[in-house]
Amino acid sequence: MRVRKLIETACILCDHWAEPTLRLCLDRFDKRLYDYAEQSRNHLEEQRCFDSRHLVQRGRTAFVQSFSAKLRASFERMGEEEDERAPQTLSQHSLTLLDRTEHELTAALDKLAARGEAQNGPILSELSYRLAVLVAAPPLEGKQLPAGPQNMARILRAASEPLDLPIEHRLLLFQEFESSVGRTLVSLYEGINAKLLADGILPRLRAFTVPRPANGPAYAGSPNATAAPSSTTAPHRSAHGNEPIAVLETLRDLLARQRVHPSSVAAPTSARTATPDELQVAMSALQQHMVQVTDRTSRELRSAQRLQEELIYQLNLGLPHDAPRMQLTPEQGDTVELVAMLFEQLAQQLHHGPDANALLGNLQLPLLRLAVSDRDFFDQREHPARQLLSKLTEALDTWLHSANGETDHQLLAKLGQLVERAQLEPPSAGLYTTLLADIDHHLMQLVRKAQAAERRHVEAMQGRERLEQARRRADELMAERFAIVSPRGLLRTLLERAWTDVLALTLLRHDEHSEAFLHQLRITDQLLGQFPVNDPLALQQEVETGLQQIGMHADEAEQVAQRLISVDAPPPVVSTPAAPDIPKPVATEAANPEPAPQPEPTPAVAAKTHSTRLSDPPSTTDLAIRLKQRQRLGEHRAEETPQATQAAVVPPLGLREARIHNHLRQLPFGTWFEFTDPATGKTTQQKLAWFSPISGNSLFVNRRGQRNDVMNLQELAHAIADGRVREIPAQDENLLDRAWHALTNNLRRPAPLLPEARP
């Protein structure tokens, strides 16, 4: 009963860990697919990415549930021996070619599992012993360890099968799984170990990893052997053990070279150094003090020199006069100075006003409290505290302010809550892992909104582009018919404007060789008199239906159709000399602009014909004027007319502009440009979301996916040649990485010469 309860507790911990972690993994995978889609120049590859996104969105809940269920089932079967297949004779085997997909999936998962075992070797060893006690089995290894990387890889493969993703997208999912899940596995292992330890399972266990051959399997020979991290899979580990590379010591050496008077930092002989707990108390007191001072004073206190002075003051506050003074150890003092210098570099790269700088400054002391107690902050690039700092600076730099300078107060409040929690709770890697998941989730929501907005604008531009092509083709077909028959009056106005839009709309919905479009062309030829009209009433209904499809009101469409087609008059056999260009089957209303006076109908006749003919219909001239004034299909005069004027005055491309234009046509979607206003000198960054290889029209959006500018690639080439626009090269480093590099470069500069050493 006790064993069953402990296994159930472990399963609950796995469930609580799996759901948020896997959803974050799928969110990041969705973003990667979107990035690949917008950078793709092949519309088929772009469509494959969006199809995969749709499959993931549709199956994400089933994926999470399947993964959790299979992980729970692994705990239920813990300790059971795997079924061995009966040995087959040589004659029963058949030789087959190695499946490329199977090989790539297996190799990717093997590498994923090997890296996970190398990174979590000691704690995995403890977990394997404690879980083995529950089922009275030898230490669990490989796929027998339910929460181990090998079994996780096996479950990932099985759970991802129903998504039916292409091989390249499935491998991309495995990469995101390792990136998102790998750094949270240690919290799961620690939680299960802590629960088993609290229940008295091997309380004095101190497991150790056994080294294996360099080319050996993940678990070699001995069942008690666990994987030792190698120098290739863990670049931050030394070659002689599990000690991290001394990144902090290297930075301290560089810092010492910059000091002109090294002896000036030495503590008095009578002073004693602060213990880690005393330093934490002093930093906590200083953190509370900074909340009470002004912003200007708070910024001054965060500088390296003032921060050390205030910490020493807090350490000695309340001590008796005869007690020895307390000082920071050399390592503590260097850590304080390095963290202060790092935040100075970050503040220099943020140009978004006091809100961003204040929020970043409020995180300095909480991160300093972690850095002095956890050397991994400097040694591990994937440390959750460093990842949180990177995400926070990204949010402040990218998402806090919109293009017009307005602050996103909702995001500012969310980031403020995360920083406040970091200030209130004791510093630990687990705390920053939780905060990182929160900020990742919030930023992913912003990314999704931006992607959706950008996609709507791109689809609108693509739809307008297709409409222009359809209208151009409809104009060509209508011009071919006007070359044979030249109508006048209302009929010509209808065909040139409204009916051409009907043809264009039919082209958008169907192919040019489709039955629907050929039917509309036959109606056009009937209106022009090229084909006989056997049923005028049916032709009138077809014209009314077509006009209503382009947005014309039913009454107006009926009036136009009735003026063009007379359902009572028989089609004329020959054309009259007065109107040789009027089509034969078209009604006499089209040939005679003003109808002849008719005798007044009796009330009974008027009531009988009221359902088919409107009283006091407008004249042919009025209908023609209405058609000319009517807005064309997809036409936005307020937007398109200036663009058409600009396109007409674009000067021809010179040699340099032509080279730039050819380069622009080869750029992937998602390339960023910097636009400079010649009048004010203000710069804005815009992303090339889409351009048409046919017309050259391009769409630029901001980081929130909002439409900024629409211009032709030729205009863009001239702007780049004139220096008003420049392409921003892709950067692999984020803002935090650039700050680290700037800090390191500053420390590597030669120290200033002492006064007596100067010539």
Q: Which residues contact 80 (CB under 8 A, 6 or more apart)?
A: none
Q: How far apart, in whole angstroms, are the C-alpha atoms of residue 705 and residue 450? A: 4
* Dihedral angle sign, alpha carbons of residues 251, 257, 259, 264: positive
Please tell me the predicted confidence (pLDDT) of residue 560: 85
- Quickly count helices (H) and strands (E) in the chain: 30, 7
Buried b (16+ CB within 10 A) or exposed e, 703-727: bbbebbebbbbbbbbbbbbeeebeb
Residue 407 DSSP code: B
Residue type, 712: N
Q: How far apart, in whole angstroms, are the C-alpha atoms of residue 109 and residue 344? A: 42
Please tell me the predicted confidence (pLDDT) of residue 403: 64
Please tell me the predicted confidence (pLDDT) of residue 70: 92
Q: Strands, E, within 589-628: which ranges?
A: none
**218-227 confidence digits (pLDDT tens):** 333 333 333 3
Q: How far apart, in whole angstroms, are the C-alpha atoms of residue 626 and residue 606? A: 27
Please tell me the predicted confidence (pLDDT) of residue 407: 81
Please tell me the predicted confidence (pLDDT) of residue 660: 92
CB atoms within 10 A of CB 368: 26
Both structure tokens of 580: 């040789």
Please tell me the predicted confidence (pLDDT) of residue 566: 60
Please tell me the predicted confidence (pLDDT) of residue 752: 57
Please tell me the predicted confidence (pLDDT) of residue 724: 92
Q: What is the DSSP string of 480-548?
A: HHHTT----HHHHHIIIIIHHHHHHHHHHHS-TTSHHHHHHHHHHHHHTTSS--S-HHHHHHHHHHHHH
Tokens 């003051």, located at residue: 313
Please tell me the predicted confidence (pLDDT) of residue 649: 58
Please tell me the predicted confidence (pLDDT) of residue 214: 38
Contact indicator for 218, 114 with CB cutoff of 8 Å: yes
Q: Calculate helix-pair angle for 185-198, 121-134, nearest 10 degrees.
A: 40
Classify 652-728 by CATH class.
Answer: mainly beta
Contact indicator for 195, 201 with CB cutoff of 8 Å: no
Please tell me the predicted confidence (pLDDT) of residue 284: 87
Please tell me the predicted confidence (pLDDT) of residue 701: 92
Residue type, 556: E
707-712 and 326-327 as β-strands: parallel, antiparallel, unpaired? unpaired
Burial class (CB in 10 A: 0-12, 13-18, 19+), 316: middle
Please tell me the predicted confidence (pLDDT) of residue 129: 86
Both structure tokens of 27: 């969110």
Locate the domains of the chain by residue range. 2-79+100-198, 275-455, 499-629, 652-728
Q: How far apart, in whole angstroms, are the C-alpha atoms of residue 235 and residue 433? A: 22
Q: Which residues contact 53 (CB under 8 A, 6 or more apart)?
A: 30, 33, 34, 37
Instruction: Decide: helix, strand or coil at residue 671.
Output: coil
> Is the model's pTM score more than 0.85?
no
Please tell me the predicted confidence (pLDDT) of residue 610: 43
Residue 12: in which H helix or E strand, if any?
Answer: helix 2-39
Burial class (CB in 10 A: 0-12, 13-18, 19+), 144: buried
Mean pLDDT per segment of 10 residues, for the chain of length 759 residues? 84 87 87 80 78 89 92 85 47 55 83 83 84 84 87 91 90 87 80 84 65 38 35 36 57 78 49 85 86 75 85 86 84 90 87 79 91 85 88 87 76 90 87 87 87 89 88 89 86 86 89 88 88 86 88 86 62 39 40 41 42 59 81 60 46 87 88 90 88 88 88 91 90 82 83 49
Instruction: Decide: helix, strand or coil at residue 294.
Output: coil
Please tell me the predicted confidence (pLDDT) of residue 269: 53
**606-624 confidence digits (pLDDT tens):** 443 444 444 467 788 888 8
CA–chain centroid gap for 219, Å, is 38
